Chains A and B, each alone.
Chain A
Amino acid sequence: GIQVEQSPPDLILQEGANSTLRCNFSDSVNNLQWFHQNPWGQLINLFYIPSGTKQNGRLSATTVATERYSLLYISSSQTTDSGVYFCAVGIYNQGGKLIFGQGTELSVKP
């Protein structure tokens, strides 16, 4: 089955710093989503981005489907950005299921 690998596994930032999280996947996908799991455990949708580039405030994401990777950029990080960031991919005709990466745990220090 498809493999999803995220890097780095852990990241510690000083408030105000920028960061890039990476997601590699091993096969063609028709769905790619980025989620933030906050310290209370909620999974928050950040981007639905099977291809192209999107921006939402301080966050932006780029997926290069032909090269099988996606990047999540966090600029001017804030303590509220702390948590685990997951990349998840979906494949056509597999019941809509998402295959998750192992996540990047981000800690932003004041």
Chain B
Amino acid sequence: DTAVSQTPKYLVTQMGNDKSIKCEQNLGHDTMYWYKQDSKKFLKIMFSYNNKELIINETVPNRFSPKSPDKAHLNLHINSLELGDSAVYFCASSPSGGGGTEAFFGQGTRLTVV
């Protein structure tokens, strides 16, 4: 059973389009995250949700809007896609948002904007 799963795995789209990436975790964790990995493989936090409540928004453009319908799901919607949005997006979860607990990552979604 996959602990943290994201769909789709690959996403190729044109500039200006709107797209969504879905994430689900079956670990019973309270906290979920979105991270972005750039072309140099650097990983950086975008958002953190604890039990459906937004905890962290790391100065991400307003075109990115996370939505958490319940604590097992955290989706990422991106409006008006730009070339610079091309990256690998990782969803993750951890038991709590206080830190000090192990985080687990999904397999990543490679977004290519053309």
Contacts and interface: CB of A to CB of B under 8 A. Distances in A.
Is the interface on chain A under 10, 10 to 19, 20 to 34, or 35 or more residues? 20 to 34
Contact of B100 (A30, A84, A86): A30
A102 B99 CA distance: 21
A110 interface: no
B100 to A, nearest CB: 4
A52 to B, nearest CB: 14
Nearest to B110: A41
Contact of B102 (A45, A86, A95): A45
Interface residues of B, number: 31
Interface in A1-57: 30-31, 33, 35, 37, 41-43, 45, 48, 50
B42 A41 contact: no
Nearest to A90: B99
B72 interface: no
- Interface residues of chain B: helix, strand, loop or mixed (majority): strand
B43 A86 contact: yes
Contacts of A95: 31, 48, 50, 55-56, 97, 99
Interface of B: 31, 33, 35, 40-45, 48, 50, 55-56, 58, 88, 90, 92, 94, 96-105, 107-108, 110
16 contacts: A30-B99, A30-B100, A31-B100, A41-B107, A42-B108, A43-B108, A92-B99, A94-B56, A95-B50, A96-B48, A96-B55, A96-B94, A96-B96, A97-B48, A100-B43, A103-B42
Given A45-B105, A94-B99, A96-B96, 5 more contacts: A31-B101, A45-B104, A94-B56, A96-B48, A97-B48
